Structure 1
Amino acid sequence: MANKIRIPIHLIIEHGAVSRLPKTPVYEWLKDKKVFLICGSNNTLNLAGMIRDTIRPQAREIHILSCESNTLDTINRLERKVLEDTPDYIFGIGGGKALDVSKVVGTRCNVPVVLFPTAASSDAICSPVAVIKMMHRSTSIGVRMPLAVVIDLDILASSPPRLAAAGIGDLLSNRTALFDWQLAHQAGIEEMNTFAALMAKNAVESFMNTVNRGDLDRSSLLKSAAESLIMSGIAMSVAGSSRPCSGSEHLISHALDFHCGAKALHGEQVAIGVLISQYLQSKRQEVELLRPYYEKLGLPTHYEDLGYTKEEMRRAIRLAPSMRNRYTILDEFSLTDKQIDAILEEVFPEEAKNRYRPIGSSAK
């Protein structure tokens, strides 16, 4: 019997998508309905105001709710407001935190969610997973997929390039994650959904094909990255877990968050984890091939450029397998500190330092 797979009913990716919203089916849904807009601050709040003004002629009632963090306290506060005055729809507006919180609140309150990403900084723009903070630790939980995703390419283009680069780092992890998933399957630990794996693989390959085009421009890059991140999110929905897009590289990033101070964006840390994972997966040539792409796409080529020391990286690699009960390439080794140091020296040579030029805010 086939499993029921949830995917967005509508996906809108175009220039001026917010101003053109009245011409879409999403606008039709809102007739005489109550809508809660969950957003962050500053520019995100301004966008929420634009969306409110755009849908005001159609919706019966509109309220803007602030989302200052992805902590359980914030989620509980928003959930109480939603349950006290239940809307017909929740619009999640912003970066990864606001989108994840919107998905969690919508799932817990049984309210459909429409997402308006302001940056393609992670696969949170369309996935059945949300990252929240519990007891000062980031935790991934399952949520319902959004009912629709509206991506205004003009808004994406105005976001800091660093955020877009972080999303690309998250996307590149599909390769190492799929290797880890195959490893767990061969060890008889997990079943592998070949359709989900194919989608995740095609997502990253489609993006890399765009990068390899000679006439690449920022608008094309952002559109391709957004489409590929959405495809990755759907792959996770098909798989019923984040397995197609999250493996050893994510465990390293989680360990950096929990044990080393979370000094960089999620996708930046994942990109560093990808290089380590590929080395352990016996793909050392691919590590060399990736470095020029990292420089071209604004990704870090050395952990020190993100503010981490060798001691912190050593600790993160050693503790990464304990971050989640998920079999990866890290479980194939019992690495000593000396061996980890040797890996770090080979994957991150001196000449890889100072090539990274972070641009824009580090806020997520």
Structure 2
Amino acid sequence: MAKKVHIPLQLIIEHRAIPHLFKTQVYEWIKGKKVALVSGSGKTRKVTDQIIDVISGQALDMQVLTCKDNTLDTINDLEREVLEDHPDMIFGIGGGKALDVSKVVGTRSNVPVVLFPTAISSDAICSPVAVIKMLNKSTSMGVKMPQGVVIDLDILSSCPSRLMSAGIGDLLSNKTALFDWELAHRAGKEERNTFASLMANNAVDSFLNLLNREEVDSSQLMKLAAESLIMSGIAMSIAGSSRPCSGSEHLISHAMDYHCGSKALHGEQVAIGVLFAQYLQGQHEQTEALHLYYEKLGLPTHYEDLGYTREEMHHAIRKAPSMRNRYTIFNEYHLSDETIDKILDLVYPDHAKNRYQLTGSSIG
């Protein structure tokens, strides 16, 4: 029996995508309709104003709602406003938080969502998963896929480089996640979807193939990073879970959030988690090669550069397996404190410190 997979009906990734929105199917969708624009604050609001200028003659009515954070309280407030105003479509505009909140509000209020990412700091730009904060802790929840995604490359090019680096960190985690998924399948714990695995793996490989060229155009790299993160999101939709893109490395990041104070961007922490997970998976040579990619991409190679102490990192590793009921490489080992310390020394040597500066910030 064939499986129904939900993917965006419109995917636009190009320069001047917002000024040219009137040429697209998205513009037709809103003809005579009410649109709620869920916007991050700060610079994101300028992007929202650009979108309003383009659609003002097409939409019947527009309502701008500010997404100040991704807490449950904010989501409840925005959902209340949406249900009172009854828009026909939600435009989610901003970084990971605004996009996730838009997906949650759209899912809960049964209103289709079109996302306008202003940064690609994670695979939230197109995925059936949203991260929200409950009781000051981050948690993931399933949501409907967006009906459309519009990525204006001119907007992305003006974002801090840290945000793109974080998105690539999230993308590279597909490799360790797929390794863990295969482990779970072999252990009889979970079924593995081959199509989802192929898509998640090809998303990373296509990006690395371009990166390996002698001359790489930064605009091409940014576009392909966005496309690869979109493919990762679709892989999750095919799988029906985040399994193709989330494994032991994400458990480490979740533990850093939950037990150590969430001091960095999600993709930055995942990138640090990838190094430990890959070593534990026995891919020692790949770990050394990954350091070269990290340096080329501006990714962190040591947890201290993200503001975490050795004690906190040790604690995060210790707590990682308990963060979610998911079979990963952690289930194949009983890690003693001594073993964790030994691997920390090997994976995060002193010479890997001070290569990364926490400059720039996430965009709502």
Q: What's the TM-score once normalised by structure 2's chain length?
A: 0.99
Task: Please name the residue that 2:151 is paired with.
Answer: 151
> Which 10-residue stretch deviates more, 128-137 or 228-237?
128-137
Q: Could you tell me how far apart the structure 1 residues matched to 2:182 and 2:165 are?
A: 27
Q: Could you tell me how far apart the structure 1 residues matched to 2:307 and 2:74 are?
A: 29
Q: Could you tell me how far apart the structure 1 residues matched to 2:104 and 2:299 are?
A: 29
How far off is 1:362 after superposition? 4.8
How far off is 1:219 after superposition? 1.0
Task: Please name the residue that 2:329 is paired with.
Answer: 329
Task: Please name the residue that 1:108 is paired with.
Answer: 108
Task: Please name the residue that 1:219 is paired with.
Answer: 219
Q: Could you tell me how far apart the structure 2 residues matched to 1:116 and 1:78 are?
A: 18
Mapping of residues 232-251 of structure 1, within 5 Å: 232-251=232-251
Deviations 1:198-250, CA, capped at 9 Å, x for gaps? 00000000010111112212211110100000000000000000000000000
Deviations 1:292-334, CA, capped at 9 Å, x for gaps? 1101101001111111111111100010011100010011111
Deviations 1:171-199, CA, capped at 9 Å, x for gaps? 00000000000000000000000100000
Task: Please name the residue that 1:91 is paired with.
Answer: 91
Q: Could you tell me how far apart the structure 1 residues matched to 2:136 and 2:334 are?
A: 28
Task: Please name the residue that 2:117 is paired with.
Answer: 117
**Aligned partner of residue 213 in structure 1, secondary structure:** coil
Identity of aligned residues (%): 70
Q: What's the TM-score once normalised by structure 1's chain length?
A: 0.99
Q: Number of residues paired by the alignment?
A: 364
Q: Could you tell me how far apart the structure 2 residues matched to 1:320 and 1:299 are?
A: 22
Mapping of residues 174-213 of structure 1, within 5 Å: 174-213=174-213
Task: Please name the residue that 2:264 is paired with.
Answer: 264
Q: Could you tell me how far apart the structure 2 residues matched to 1:362 and 1:60 are?
A: 32
Distance verdict in 2 for CA 1:127–1:362, change over 3 Å: closer
Q: Could you tell me how far apart the structure 2 residues matched to 1:323 and 1:291 are?
A: 26
**Aligned partner of residue 138 in structure 1, secondary structure:** strand
**Aligned partner of residue 138 in structure 2, secondary structure:** strand
Task: Please name the residue that 1:6 is paired with.
Answer: 6
Q: Could you tell me how far apart the structure 2 residues matched to 1:214 and 1:62 are?
A: 47
Task: Please name the residue that 1:300 is paired with.
Answer: 300
Task: Please name the residue that 1:162 is paired with.
Answer: 162
Deviations 1:147-173, CA, capped at 9 Å, x for gaps? 000000000000110000000000000
In structure 1, list runs of 5 or more residues that go unmatched. Answer: none
Root-mean-square deviation (Å): 0.8
The answer (yes or no) to whether the contact 2:44–2:363 under 8 Å persists in 1 is no
Task: Please name the residue that 1:31 is paired with.
Answer: 31
How far off is 1:288 after superposition? 0.5
**Aligned partner of residue 140 in structure 2, secondary structure:** strand
**Aligned partner of residue 150 in structure 1, secondary structure:** strand
Letter in 1 for 2:126: C
Task: Please name the residue that 2:273 is paired with.
Answer: 273
Task: Please name the residue that 1:284 is paired with.
Answer: 284
Deviations 1:13-43, CA, capped at 9 Å, x for gaps? 0000000000111101111100000011111
Higher relative contact order, chain-length normalized (CA < 8 Å, sep 6+): 2
Q: Could you tell me how far apart the structure 1 residues matched to 2:235 and 2:34 are?
A: 31
The answer (yes or no) to whether the contact 2:118–2:363 under 8 Å persists in 1 is no
> Which 10-residue stretch deviates more, 14-23 or 348-357?
348-357
In structure 2, list runs of 5 or more residues that go unmatched. Answer: none
**Aligned partner of residue 91 in structure 1, secondary structure:** strand
